[in-house]
Amino acid sequence: MCDANDDSDACELLGPAPKIPVPDDVVEAIRTLLRWTGDDPTREGLRDTPLRVARAWREYTQGYAEDPAQHLGRVFEEVGGYDEIVLLRDIPFQSHCEHHMAPIIGKAHIAYLPKDHVVGISKLARVLHGYARRLQVQERLTAEVADCIWNGLRPRGVAVVIEATHGCMTSRGVRTPGVTMTTSRMMGVFREDERSRKEVLSLIARG
């Protein structure tokens, strides 16, 4: 059976561990919210909704239960002399904004220039999801992913570009669908050397 600390691909396919108990005050808080909207939390269609919502939010925010840096603990030093850019493009992710708790849905491009070793490519996606599954703002998410890879791998350069749509803008407030926000963080040679920065941005743009 898989648990929250299991890092295997098999457990990722099997899904999360068995449902955890939800505190009564959390369930009651959601019932209060339902009543505040004008609906009746005791009616048949909503009777189990508070528990479902609580468990869903536990899943949405499971990043708080992990240290994303742990995914970079295992590296490979024998890479046949490879010393060029490693890029993962179009990694899908979901998060929730800390201001309205509305969905943030997007994709990330993560690149690094190895120095002495590389890491399994799935680990970069795990770092992203570890930070995304928290209440976030896109700017901080971008910085956290880049900083984690920079500190964990000590590469020559790190580049993280995130493109996302924000439910707090598309479904409320100005209600402007189709707007994408782009943020980036460049570190090492990707920040200091214009040629290297142009190269990695060109590779990302090819998608």
- Active-site positions? 97-100, 138, 166, 168
Q: Are 106 and 163 in contact (CB under 8 A)?
A: yes
Contact yes or no for 164/181 (Cβ under 8 A): yes
**Rg of the chain over CA atoms, in angstroms?**
20
SS3 90: strand
- Other residues' Cβ atoms within 10 Å of the Cβ of residue 119: 21
Name beta bridge partners: 119: 75
Nearest-5° angle of CA 187, CA 165, CA 95?
A: 75
Amino acid 81 reads G
Dist CA 149 CA 127 (whole Å): 8
Long-range CB contact pairs, 99-103, < 8 A, 24+: 99/137, 99/168, 100/167, 100/168, 100/172, 101/135, 102/166, 102/167, 102/168, 102/171, 102/172, 103/166, 103/167
